[in-house]
Amino acid sequence: MDFSARLYRVDDSGNLKFRTELRSLNSATMNTFAGETWVVTDIGDKLLYYFVAQQTSAENAVNLARIPSALKSP
């Protein structure tokens, strides 16, 4: 991505737990499990995107989440 964002995990109580800040043009690998909800915000904490991790194979691999291009900064 070409802008910075914050990544939060939603805990069992529905609270956002800050995990990391993604800096411009960098990527992070995060451990997760199928069914876990993640929230992506801009640096000002404006909601950009959320997703639920999905299981994609019998080997328990979890899919990669990508921010749709429509949500990228101009």
pTM for this predicted structure = 0.66
Alpha-carbon radius of gyration of the chain: 13
Question: Is 42 buried (19+), middle (13-18) or exposed (0-12) by CB count in 10 A?
Answer: middle
Position 73 in a domain? no
Position 46 in a domain? yes
Contact 53, 32 (CB under 8 A): yes
Distance in angstroms (rounded) separating the CA atoms of residues 51 and 45: 16
Of the listed ranges 20-24, 46-50, 62-66, the least confidently predicted one is 62-66
* Domain region containing 12: 5-66
For the chain, what is the domain count? 1
Position 36 in a domain? yes
Residue-wise pLDDT for 22-46, tens only, equals 876 666 667 777 788 889 898 899 9
The upper half-sphere exposure of residue 56, i.e. CA atoms within 13 Å in the direction of its Cβ, equals: 8
